[in-house]
Structure 1
């Protein structure tokens, strides 16, 4: 039988060709996304969890309602985030190559929400910086000294204490080897006992002492150095020999002691060294005025430097507590000057951020941003809870899922959304682009030499509008996932439960880190 090729055969061939081109395009795009580490996946839409049960999203909303006041009508968006570790050169900006608005926010009634509206219907695999896991941290080389007060430690639901838990343990009430000498200013026996018990229950190796009378901050920190010298000798006798002695303020936070230890590998701890760890705040100004920096509050000493400090003549009570000082000097400035003058020790600086020094090159319109939104991996943070109202202990919780290095990692989406992990989510409706040729620079090396290996810390230039969602809440679930809630309230007034209120509403974006795709 003779077969004749008609128009329907040619049409079928065209369809096959189109299908093959589509498959090729899709697989190529998927491969590119996989190499970049960003993959967008639609999750199972079945949200039935059984009669009488609540979904994880419903449970988390209840937590937010109990802890924070939300408007009755609230915009809601939830994502599942799967961290995907990859080897690449560290950068301040991770380009995701997908759209954040791949799913739209839905308006929910917080008192009678729809389970389907709350459901996280998409999963996004995000690339994370390669770094140590929390449980792998070995900080046995460090002994830290902190001078504070009981009231300060207990403030804001023990925020300072919760921050110590993050960088002085491996989590799950296990010490990471770091020691702590804590000096409480005029604490009662009951207060001292309570803090001591809390530290022990958290797995923090600590020695607590108190002052009996009012002392200047400078004198308290000098006393702290003296106690560190004596206590370290006791530890050494039991086989716990410390190499680095940190004198830090209670607002100082170390996102990763493994990272700090690696940065200190270039130094010889057997020499008398005084190392500053300035926690910098670098701001881009829209008028192009450039960069301002502030720092201090954290120094590292070797054993030889600690021994030298206790013998210095300029650290006498009369020098540290002059009569009626007009402008009391900070303890670290006094210590730096004294070491330079009487011991010949210059301060070494291990910068967490590096300023190029060309303030005039600041790009007009560049993002006015503090270092905690710059996207670089921070070495040390200071005053986050006071200056930025960032509960850093809560914000750092995501590191349990994705490791120390992913905290504050900056992700830039194709549709001009930016996630700074643990800090903020921002939308730039009128466009966003790197300010090439301008901006911060980040150095992996100290100022004492080494190669000139620097990596760009790219500011983001924009014109027009910016909407910001700040971290509101973070919590760990029993399955190991970490839930983050970012809030944009726009300064609008809160509505009482059950009231209709104005048309304005809060907006909440929930990121669920670490759950396996369903």
Structure 2
């Protein structure tokens, strides 16, 4: 065996020293890169089972009058400026750093808690798989097929009331290749300022309240703001409620300013009034884009959204948004406006122009707005159209989601949406749970599809974060087309041999829906958590009484069916001693040390270290083309 030169021996000894130190000494490991703090994970409580979706009302033949006649107050903008400045100054003085703590909870207890909160019986058929993401894919395909079998060992019957530990996944992790994209703790959204107008009752409601969703895209997921600002305007709210709302937001890490709405304005007026409020915000000078949103607007890919917004010069007047997906709504409204629930983005120059326009002027004879608008987004559009030459910059990846019924067709289509809307009313989804997978694999993998083999001819598709679907007889249709699962209402108007094309503008031709055919069975995400080691656990459930997944001659199963997944990050990297001595991470301990001085002393320009980490750690130390140390299988 060849002798190792002295300088190489010293390098190996230094690496070994830091490996041992970081693994066994918590204080030292946290000195360099603070590990996750030990805190309870936020509970993701599902709302009660919703009633059957109502038939959507026909579009009104004429706009209704505003709910309250607003006063035309020219001094409104200066008053708003003063109000926002004072509120921001006071609230920022009261704000203290809030830490969200993350801790490991026993797997069986966690699963039992999720199922209990969602009224799922404890006697279940259970299976679990571990997935490791490798961020080396060049693109994000609509469907990534693998040759891996998903559940080769089958299901196990489990009574959660009688066990302390769940069956362990003894198989090697499934490896999935994804495109590198930022995780929530890697996003700087400081160029964005959002404005929302709602009521305290709705804000504080256990089901309708938006904080559990906002915390996913307005913070880093660990209790600190991601830089984005939020201005919350509350209607008919006391000072005590205002303070309580502000405390609730800042306690979870959201950079929020909470103010009273103008009591003289109705709902459309309060919406448009957000423009001068945002423009007068103390942080506005550092923001590039101002956004008007609903309290049920969700942004699952904030990094991708900002990349799209960068196509529009923030120093010019820009009005950015999307239309509704419904062709019938577009033809009825006949206005190419940005629909508010998907998110309406304006630049500072446009906001400055709008403040000087009579957007909220009222006709004294009719009591209605002179700009014509019974909805806030339409009132804003008419003010822009009637007084400027600016037209809508169409951003189709924003989503209004104006359809009722089962939303699976949209969420299982493999797209990377920039916004979501109506997920608590027109349809029901849990984006705050789905978004948890971004902590493991980055924002681009949310709702990404991965295909696996099953037993015999069956195929499985993981719609990441939303559902896991089995196709027992295989897939014999074009998966690039969206499945028709929606309820658009008023079906009789599309009879007499006419095809329903109301969603064709947004989604293209839809493929046939598979519910009640026996060709598809789906497990939907009911819960999830991020553990202290960075692993994300997801729980997917197929309810025993869900008749969508029972074919014509099939019988109902006698148990609930539950799938658990453990999602691991896998890092690949190659570093030169000229830039870094080492980067090392175990499930709890992490550290980073700059040892460029050592490289200079020892002349180790040809020295590199490659690591693959997740639930396992692989470390390879190389000098030139010679492998000198290789260790596999640490836990």
TM-score, scaled relative to structure 1: 0.72
Residue number among 520, 524, 541 corresponding to 1:470 in the alignment: 524
Residue number among 125, 133, 139 corresponding to 1:89 in the alignment: 139
Residue number among 538, 543, 552 corresponding to 1:489 in the alignment: 543
Matched, 1:337 2:376: no
Contact 1:92 1:376 in 2 (8 A): yes
TM-superposed deviation, 1:471:
1.0
Matched, 1:258 2:303: yes
Partner residue in 1 for 2:564: 510
Secondary structure of the 1:371 match is: helix
Q: Distance in 1 between matches of 2:120 and 2:199?
A: 34
TM-superposed deviation, 1:485:
0.8
Residue number among 110, 121, 141 corresponding to 2:170 in the alignment: 121
Partner residue in 2 for 1:435: 478
Partner residue in 2 for 1:393: 432
TM-superposed deviation, 1:214:
6.7
Contact 1:159 1:393 in 2 (8 A): no
Matched, 1:109 2:159: yes
Secondary structure of the 1:63 match is: helix
Q: CA, structure 1 residues 159+417, in 2 after alignment: closer, same or farther (shift >3 Å)?
A: farther
Q: Distance in 1 between matches of 2:293 and 2:432?
A: 17
Deviations along 1:111-143, one digit per CA (max 9) or x if unpaired, are 12484x622233212222321122221111111
Secondary structure of the 2:161 match is: coil
Partner residue in 2 for 1:79: 129
Q: CA, structure 1 residues 300+428, in 2 after alignment: closer, same or farther (shift >3 Å)?
A: same
Q: Which runs of 5+ in 2 are unaligned?
A: 1-103, 328-337, 400-405, 484-506, 548-555, 569-613, 617-634
Secondary structure of the 1:425 match is: strand
TM-superposed deviation, 1:104:
1.1
Q: CA, structure 1 residues 280+91, in 2 after alignment: closer, same or farther (shift >3 Å)?
A: farther
TM-superposed deviation, 1:433:
3.8
Matched, 1:383 2:422: yes
Deviations along 1:412-446, one digit per CA (max 9) or x if unpaired, are 22342111111111111122145278669xxxxxx
How many residues are paired up? 411
Partner residue in 2 for 1:275: 320
Secondary structure of the 1:187 match is: coil
Q: Distance in 2 between matches of 1:114 and 1:248?
A: 45
Alignment of 1:146-165 (within 5 A): 146-156=196-206, 159-165=209-215
Deviations along 1:145-193, one digit per CA (max 9) or x if unpaired, are 1111222222236751121111111222222111111101111222111
Contact 2:538 2:566 in 1 (8 A): yes
Secondary structure of the 1:225 match is: helix
Deviations along 1:427-478, one digit per CA (max 9) or x if unpaired, are 11122145278669xxxxxxxxxxxxxxx99987787422111111112223
Contact 1:471 1:484 in 2 (8 A): yes
Contact 1:186 1:212 in 2 (8 A): no
Secondary structure of the 1:426 match is: strand
Secondary structure of the 1:200 match is: helix
TM-superposed deviation, 1:385:
3.1
Q: Distance in 1 between matches of 2:221 and 2:298?
A: 16
Contact 2:413 2:480 in 1 (8 A): no
Contact 1:279 1:382 in 2 (8 A): no
Contact 1:433 1:461 in 2 (8 A): no
TM-superposed deviation, 1:228:
1.0
Q: Distance in 1 between matches of 2:510 and 2:131?
A: 25
Deviations along 1:57-78, one digit per CA (max 9) or x if unpaired, are 3232332354333324211111
Contact 1:399 1:407 in 2 (8 A): yes
Q: Distance in 2 between matches of 1:418 and 1:55?
A: 28
Matched, 1:300 2:345: yes
Residue number among 158, 169, 182 corresponding to 2:219 in the alignment: 169
Residue number among 274, 282, 301 corresponding to 1:224 in the alignment: 274
Secondary structure of the 1:218 match is: helix
TM-superposed deviation, 1:226:
1.4
TM-superposed deviation, 1:199:
1.7
Q: Distance in 2 between matches of 1:344 and 1:412?
A: 48
Q: CA, structure 1 residues 64+173, in 2 after alignment: closer, same or farther (shift >3 Å)?
A: closer
Alignment of 1:294-373 (within 5 A): 296-297=340-341, 298-318=343-363, 322=367, 329-352=374-397, 369-373=408-412
Q: Distance in 1 between matches of 2:449 and 2:242?
A: 40
Contact 2:362 2:368 in 1 (8 A): no
Q: Distance in 1 between matches of 2:317 and 2:393?
A: 11
Q: Distance in 2 between matches of 1:98 and 1:219?
A: 55
Partner residue in 2 for 1:422: 465
Q: CA, structure 1 residues 352+381, in 2 after alignment: closer, same or farther (shift >3 Å)?
A: same
Contact 2:433 2:525 in 1 (8 A): no
Q: CA, structure 1 residues 156+214, in 2 after alignment: closer, same or farther (shift >3 Å)?
A: farther
Contact 1:492 1:504 in 2 (8 A): no
Q: Which runs of 5+ in 1 are unaligned?
A: 1-53, 283-293, 355-366, 441-455, 494-501
Q: Distance in 1 between matches of 2:248 and 2:407?
A: 39
Secondary structure of the 2:182 match is: coil
Q: Distance in 2 between matches of 1:421 and 1:281?
A: 26
